[in-house]
Amino acid sequence: MLGQMASLVASLRAREEGIQLSDTQISIIASSLMAIAIVGMLLVALVSDRIGRRWSFMVFSMPSILNYVVLYFARDAVTLMLSRTLAGIALGSILALKLCVTSEYAGPKTRAMFLNMISTLSPSIGNSIAHALGIILHWRTVALIGILPAIIGLILPYFWVESPHWLASKGRFEECETSFRTLHKQSPNTEAELQLLLNVEKTKLKKAIETNSEHTLKKLSIACKKKYFWDLMVLSVFISAFLASAGKLAYSTLAVTIIKGVTGSNDILIYTIIVDLSVTLGAVTSCYLIRKVSMRSMLFTTGLIGIFILISLSACLYYKTDSVYLEWAIICLLSVYFFILKSGPYPILEALLGEIFPIELKVHCFFFSGSILMIAMTVTIVLLPIMVSFMGYYGMFLANSGIMIVSLGYIWLRLPETKGRTLQEIEIYFKTNNFHDVDDIVNNEQIKGLI
C-alpha cells in the first residue's frame, strides 16, 4: 500500500495519461494516507473493543480491497482521494490490529520476533516488491496485484481463535483459558503466564465493579488521571519522532523521488533495487538479532550507528560532484543506513508500541499514540519538498539526525528491557516503575491497587 504510492506519485508528477494535477494536489494525495489512518485507528478502537480482534481484522480488510479497485479506475483528483481515504482507513486499522493481535497471541519469548516479522519484515518485502513492480509495470497493474494479499487478509482471520487477552479483559475467563491453551503448548511456564493473566484481569474487573468504571470511556477517564498514562504518551511521542525523522514513511512513499534527488539520475532501477534489497536484508537480519541480543542493546547500538551514517550521507551530499563514483558512494551509504535502521531501531520501536499499553485500553492507546505517529509522518512527507528546496537533502538529513539523537536519548532514559517479559509484567512496570515477582503481583494489595 505504501510502496505502491512511490510509482503513483512519480507518474502523477510526470503528468502521465493526461491526469493534470498541481504539485499541491499531488502532495496532498501522497501525505493524506497517514492523516486518514488516524480515522482508521479511531474506528478500530471502537469496533474491536466490542467484537474482538478476529472479526475486526476481517471487517477492516474490506476498505483495503475497495481501495485497490477504486485506484485502478481513478482518473482525477476526486477518485484518487477516495482511494486514499479507503487506503488510510485500512492502513490505520490494520496497523493497530496487527500490533495488537501479534503481541496478544505470541508468548513472551517469541513475541518480539513475531512483532518484528509482522511490522518490519513483511512490509519491507511488500514495499520492495511494490517499488520494483512500480518501475517495471504501470501503477494501475500494481493496484490490481495488490487486491490478492488484501483478499487473503480478509479470509485468514476466519480460522483464528479470539485473543485470550481480549477475552480476559471482558471477563470471559473460561473462553480465555481455552483460547490461550489453543495458542500455546501446555507447560509450567505457559500455565504460569495464563494464571498471571487471569489474576491481573480479575483484579482489574473487581476494581472496575467496585468503582463503577466497567465502561471503556470511564476506564479511559481514570487512566488519563494517572501518571503512567502520560509517561507512556510522552514515550510514544519520542518513538514517533524517531521513526518519522529516520525516514520510515518518507522512503516507502517517495522512494523514486528521493533516489532521483540524491543521485541526480533518472536511471534508478538498479539503485532502487539495491536500496530495497538492503531494507529487506536488514529486516531479515533483525529477526536473528532480536532472538540473540537484548532489545535495549540492539536498539541503542544500531540507532547510534544509523545516526552516524546519516550524518556521513549528509556530508557526501554537501560535497557532491558529478562523479559516478560519488553517486555509488551515496547509494551505498543510503543502503547501509536503511539496513542498520531495519535491523534494529524500526523493529524494536514498533514492537514496543505493541507491548507497553494496558490490555483493556490497548487499541484506544494505539489511537492516541498512532495519531501522534501518523501526524509526525504526514508532516515529514508534506515538509520534505519544502525542506529539500530550502536546505537540500544534505540539510534535511542533518536536521533529521539531530531529532533522532534527542529522541533516542529520551527513550534510553525511560525504556526498560522488555525481552522475555509477559504483557502483564510490562504493564505493571509502567504502573509501578518496577518489575515484580508473580507472588508480589498476586498477593500484594498495594500493587493490586496500582494495577
For residues 380 and 141, the model is more confident at 141
What is the arithmetic mean of pLDDT over 327-345? 83
Weakest-pLDDT range from 31-35, 126-130, 380-384: 380-384
Q: How far is CA 123 from the centre of its chain?
A: 10
Instruction: In whole angstroms, give the CA distance from residue 432 to residue 69.
Output: 49
pLDDT band at residue 444, thresholds of 50, 70 and 90?
low
pLDDT band at residue 448, thresholds of 50, 70 and 90?
low
Report which residue type is found at 397: F
The correct answer on CATH 1.20.1250.20 for the domain covering 3-160+224-420 is yes
- Written as nine digits, the cell of 330 is 551515496
pLDDT band at residue 200, thresholds of 50, 70 and 90?
confident
Report which residue type is found at 365: C
CB 93 within 8 A of CB 56: yes
- Phi, psi of 264, rounded to the nearest 5 degrees: 75, 20
Cβ count near 107 (within 10 Å) = 16
Instruction: In whole angstroms, give the CA distance from residue 137 to residue 65.
Output: 20
Q: Residue 211 in 3-state DSSP?
A: coil
CB 275 within 8 A of CB 334: yes
Indicate if the pLDDT at residue 130 is higher than 90. Answer: no
Q: How far is CA 23 from the centre of its chain?
A: 28
pLDDT score, position 407: 93
What is the arithmetic mean of pLDDT over 351-370? 80
Q: Which of 247, 255, 261, 301 is nearest to 275 (CA)?
A: 255
Say what percent of the chain tops pLDDT 70. Answer: 88
Instruction: In whole angstroms, give the CA distance from residue 271 to residue 263.
Output: 9
Which pTM value belongs to this model? 0.76
Dihedral angle over CA of 306, 309, 315, 320, nearest 10: -120
pLDDT digit string (tens) for 233-258? 899 889 888 988 887 655 554 455 56
pLDDT digit string (tens) for 80-114? 889 989 988 998 898 888 888 888 898 888 888 88
Q: How far is CA 408 from the centre of its chain?
A: 17
What is the arithmetic mean of pLDDT over 353-363? 80
Indicate if the pLDDT at residue 63 is higher than 90. Answer: yes
Cα separations (Å) of 343 from 166, 191, 249, 281? 31, 33, 16, 8
For residues 113 and 62, the model is more confident at 62
pLDDT score, position 55: 93
CATH 1.20.1250.20 occupies which residues in the chain? 3-160+224-420
Instruction: In whole angstroms, give the CA distance from residue 349 to residue 34.
Output: 18
pLDDT band at residue 284, thresholds of 50, 70 and 90?
confident
What is the arithmetic mean of pLDDT over 207-235? 81
**Residues 6+ positions from 408 with CB-CB distance below 8 Å:** 242, 300, 303, 304, 307, 345
pLDDT score, position 254: 47
Indicate if the pLDDT at residue 226 is higher than 60. Answer: yes
Q: What is the DSSP letter of 161?
A: P
Cβ count near 396 (within 10 Å) = 23
What is the arithmetic mean of pLDDT over 372-393? 75
**3-state helix/strand/coil string of 287-307:** HHHHHHCCHHHHHHHHHHHHH
pLDDT digit string (tens) for 142-198? 888 889 988 998 999 999 999 999 898 888 999 999 999 999 888 888 888 888 888
Instruction: In whole angstroms, give the CA distance from residue 255 to residue 249.
Output: 9
pLDDT band at residue 3, thresholds of 50, 70 and 90?
low
- Written as nine digits, the cell of 257 is 523521488
Q: Is the dihedral of CA 140, 144, 145, 146 positive or negative?
A: positive
Say what percent of the chain tops pLDDT 90. Answer: 15
Instruction: In whole angstroms, give the CA distance from residue 268 to residue 286.
Output: 27
CB 353 within 8 A of CB 233: no
CB-facing half-sphere around the CA of 164: CA atoms within 13 A: 24
